[in-house]
Structure formats: structure tokens, C-alpha cells
Structure 1
Amino acid sequence: MNLLLLSNSTQYGRGYLAHALDKVAAFVPSGGRLVFVPYALADHDGYTAKARGALEPLGVDVRGAHEGGDPVALLATADAVFVGGGNSFRLLSALYRTGLRDALITAVRAGLPYMGASAGTNMAAPTLRTTNDMPIVQPPSFDTLGFVPFQINPHYLDPDPSSTHKGETREERLTEFLEENDVPVLGLREGSWLRVTGGRAALGGERPARLFTRGAAPRELPVGADVSGLLGTVPRFDSPAR
């Protein structure tokens, strides 16, 4: 498979996708048609316009999945697909409702380049179980697209030792996940991404990632690290995600 999985689409102090634009330009075929999936936000037109404004200067023809009536038929014409960020529960619910979930699985496994950011990156994992989002809607299942066999936590935040907040840290929440599920979780900090090409996976961006596995202390993974070994993971969830 051919995947570019961004932790975030907007970096503090920069425009939409600006922090990763060189990587995106090398990933998205110039002169080709990209289908943008805007369902994680309520304003599909406005969100598509934002993606179009960032990508069309690269020579990419951007079409919103909601434009033209049949998103599955539109996907069949695409040279690449970009699933944007927002609320992961709303996004997954829409993928089921429109038929795009099954269509994306088929197309991407057949070679269609897939780019995700935030919620779109969550979709590439086996389930929705490590998202940071509030369940504002209930999708038919927590099963996502399963392009990688491990979980991803975009926007990973390190504990703040000076904070007086007594709620769980992100690390504590992911540890709770591992108490119930034996599946590695890759925490992608802001400004970082995962690039998957065939059987190889590597970390990119500006900051190291953090890997959580059951029964072990979290590990720091530097920018450029080869994490291809994670592609051989056998997920073990506590129960079916349905």
C-alpha cells in the first residue's frame, strides 16, 4: 500500500498543510485527480475549498467526495484520496453511510494512494479505539479501514509536569487501552507523520514518535526510524469491535 498518514493538517503558525507540503507534493501525483473526503467536519464545501486552496497550486485537481452525487463512483476516477481531519466518529459514520468505507478498502489495497490527517489517519488503523475525539454520533461499528495492523494516536501530547489538571494524561489513556487490548499504539506528535510504501514504514516530520506496547515502557522513536516491523503486528482486541 501507499500511505501518507499525518498527525495534523495545520501546524501552529503555519497554513493548512504547510508544514508537510514538500512531502505532500511528492506523494500526490501532479496533474492527477484527488478526491478529498470532508466528512469529519460539518461544512463539506468550506473544508473542500481549504484543501483545494492548498493542493491546486501543486497541480492537483481536487474534488470533494460530496460533489457530484455518488462518492463511490467519484472515488473510482481518482488518482489519490485525502481523508481530512475533524471528528473521527462523524467521519467513520459517514464512510459507512455513503459506502466509502468498503470502496476505500478495495481501492487502497489495490494501490490507490491514501493520505490522511488526524481523523483521516485514525481511519487507517484497525479500529477507532485510540481516537481523542468525543463520540458525537454512533457509527455502526468501531471497525475502520485497517490499512495498518496497529493503532495510531494522532496529536499525541506529552504529560505536562507543571499542570495542575488531575484528569488522565494521554499516556494514561493509552495505557488503559493496552490493559484491554494487545495492539501496539503509535503516538504521532504534532508535525509528524508515518509513510508506508509496500512493506516498509518510516517516521517523518519534525518530532519523534512514541510507541506504546503492552507490558513495556513507552519508547521514543526518532524521526526517520524504520518501523516496518509494526506491519507484521497481529491485533488482539478484547472483543469484536461491533
Structure 2
Amino acid sequence: MTDLLLLSNSTNHGRDPLEHARDAVAEVLDGRTELVFVPFALADHDGYTERIATAVAPLGVRVRGLHTAADPVAAVRSAPAVFTGGGNTFRLLAELYRRELLEPLRDRVSEGMPYLGASAGTNIAGPTVRTTNDMPIVEPPSLTSLGLVPFQLNPHYVDPDPASRHMGETREKRLAEFHECNDIPVLGLREGTWLRVRGDWAELAGVSTSGGAPGRLFRRGAPGEDVSGDVSDLLAPASEPVWG
């Protein structure tokens, strides 16, 4: 049974890493005492792993950085749980392709291994990373990602500021552009929130730091709508891309 915790962000302003979601992390780990951490979205793998280890230590969980494994594929295949951290989505995906880790991760999740993601680690849980906010600082072989859920994700979703004089695209405008070429839902996750998935059940939870519902849902040809609580209907198979 698929078992996912997909966080918009790992750290709320003024709080320690994962502090705002510690109960949710404990629930998905369900007594497991070991976690494999995927730090490839940031350049400082050791420092990032240490920060996550400190964050989950109060839960009695030990952390192993995947970058330290002599055989990363074997480490994923034997991992009791995996947490993929945030940073740059393109760098993360490129490293997963280079180390041939996408298929082992998909396999383990299909076997019921808990997968936790934050920011970039949440982006790659969708079918592609085409709705990430990040700059493509490297070029992965493909934009196809893990496909753990059948819809696109947009962590760090920010609502338009009606008082802003900035003339560039808002997040909502960019997602509307995505839907000019694609027919697949996009779930925006506001800061401080997360998506929990277990089998055919999905729920939005957490407390948005900007107020309002945890998520905002975008579909092709329809205005965005705030969503919270049970969103299990999103787990239905998505349509194929439109492209034009």
C-alpha cells in the first residue's frame, strides 16, 4: 500500500526543521527507528543529512545519508523508510537518474515502504517535475519523475498579492500556462502544509502559514479552488498531456 508524506516545506519560519510536522513524520514512520535520507537537492550532503538527523532524533530515529552508501541502489532496496529533502529539483532529479535510483524508489514505495518528501522531494513524487518553481541549473535526462501520485505538485504555493506592483507572472499564472499544454491536475501546497497518502486515501493537512486552506487545486479550463481534508478523488488516473 502506498504510504506517503509530501511536505510543502521542511522548515517553517522561526522554527526548527520538521518541527511543524513532527507528529505527521512520527505517524508515517510508525515506530521505525531508521531512515535513509536523500540529500541530493543541495550541494552540502553531509550538512543537510546532519540537520535532518537532528530533527528526527527526538523520535528515536537514526538517519543514514544515501550519499554515504557504497551501493545506493542496495541501500534504497533495504531501506525501512526514505526521506527526500528539498533544494533544487533539477539537481535532485539529475542525481537520481545518474545513480539509477528512480526505479528502486518506485519499487520500494509500491511494496509499502514509507516515502517522505519536502519541497523538491515532494516535486518528484508527481509524474514529472514540470510544475516545480526551481531554476534548471542542471539538465536531467528527462523531466519524468517518480509518479507516486497521478497529478502534478507545486510546493511553496504562494497566492497572488493584490497590492504588488510586480508585473511578472504570479504562481497562478504560471500554472495556467502549464494547463494550456497539459490536462492533468496540479495541487499547490501552501507553506506549513502537507499531503498524506495511504493506498487510495489522500488528505491535505497542516496549517498554512499564510492562512486559508492547505492547498489550492488547478485543473485545465477551470479556476483554481482552495482544498483541504479528503482529496482522495485526485488519485484517479490522470489524463495524458495535451501539448498545445
* TM-score, normalization by structure 2: 0.95
For the pair 1:227 / 2:243, whether they are aligned, the reply is no
CA offsets 1:107-156 (integer angstroms, 9 cap, x no match): 11111100000000001000010000000000000000000000010000
Matching residue of 2:52: 51
Matching residue of 2:205: 204
% identity of equivalent residues = 59
Q: Distance in 2 between matches of 1:219 and 1:233?
A: 20
Q: Distance in 1 between matches of 2:239 and 2:128?
A: 10
Q: Distance in 2 between matches of 1:29 and 1:41?
A: 27
Specify the code of the residue in structure 2 equivalent to 1:6. Answer: L
Q: Does the 8 Å CA contact 2:32/2:80 hold for their aligned counterparts?
A: no
Give the C-alpha shift of residue 57 in structure 1.
2.0
* SS of residue matched to 1:52: helix
Matching residue of 1:86: 87
Q: Distance in 1 between matches of 2:205 and 2:15?
A: 18
Q: Does the 8 Å CA contact 1:29/1:60 hold for their aligned counterparts?
A: no
Q: Distance in 2 between matches of 1:182 and 1:78?
A: 35
Give the C-alpha shift of residue 235 in structure 1.
3.2
Q: Distance in 2 between matches of 1:99 and 1:41?
A: 18
Q: Does the 8 Å CA contact 1:186/1:211 hold for their aligned counterparts?
A: yes
Matching residue of 2:133: 132
Specify the code of the residue in structure 2 equivalent to 1:132. Answer: N
For the pair 1:218 / 2:232, whether they are aligned, the reply is no
CA offsets 1:177-224 (integer angstroms, 9 cap, x no match): 0010000000000001000001000100003110000111111113xx
Count of residue pairs brought into register by the alignment: 237
Specify the code of the residue in structure 2 equivalent to 1:75. Answer: V
1:165-184 → structure 2 map (5 Å cutoff): 165-184=166-185
Describe the shift of the 1:80–1:172 C-alpha distance in structure 2 as closer, same or farther (beyond 3 A): same
Superposition CA RMSD, Å: 1.0
* TM-score, normalization by structure 1: 0.95
Q: Distance in 2 between matches of 1:68 and 1:179?
A: 42
Describe the shift of the 1:227–1:31 C-alpha distance in structure 2 as closer, same or farther (beyond 3 A): closer
Q: Distance in 1 between matches of 2:90 and 2:32?
A: 32
Q: Distance in 1 between matches of 2:148 and 2:183?
A: 18
Describe the shift of the 1:31–1:102 C-alpha distance in structure 2 as closer, same or farther (beyond 3 A): closer
Matching residue of 2:34: 33
- Uncovered stretches (5+) of structure 1, i.e. residues with no partner: none
The list of structure 1 runs, each at least 4 consecutive aligned residues, that deviate by more than 2 angstroms after superposition, is: 29-32
- Uncovered stretches (5+) of structure 2, i.e. residues with no partner: none
Q: Distance in 2 between matches of 1:68 and 1:187?
A: 33
